[in-house]
Amino acid sequence: MSEQSSYGASSGGWSQPPPAAPKKRRKWPWILLVVVLLGIGGCVAVVALVANEVSDESDRTVRVRYEVTGTAEDVSIAYTTWRDGNMSTSQVSSQRLPWTKEVTTKGFVKGGSLSITLGRSGGKAVCSVTVDGGSPHTATASGAFANASCSGF
């Protein structure tokens, strides 16, 4: 018997190595790329939506109605209004009631304030500001030299 015959090609010992297992492709980099791209797309969509809303709001015109009513006979009235990014202030002294003023304004910042101060004779007065027919913002002053302010609209 020869030495070669006992351990040879038929038993598969020293012949060619077994074939290598196929390399697995990693999927997580592709999944991560898709998640990042979706996140970026979502951020772009949110920024575009906010920019559109800001643009629409800055072009919207609103009507502001200032009103002072009551029994006071001597009232000083001061009101401010934002128009196209600029604040304008007006004042009316020794005004008899009722008093109203209506203005229209547009721009990103709208609104203003209304302040009243009663004179020496006192009495009672209510200031009211209404924007586009919404709920009025009101405040009341009563007594000599009392004041009230309507703001935050």
Q: Which residues make Cβ contacts (< 8 Å) with residue 110, sequence separation at least 6?
A: 62, 64, 82, 131
Buried b (16+ CB within 10 A) or exposed e, 111-131: bbbbbbbbbeebbebbbbbbb
CA distance 11 to 28: 42
* Range 10-29 average pLDDT: 70
pLDDT, residue 124, reads 93
pLDDT of 1 strictly over 60 = no
User: pLDDT by residue (tens digit) across 57-114?
Assistant: 566 778 888 899 999 888 999 988 876 667 778 888 767 789 988 888 776 555 678 8
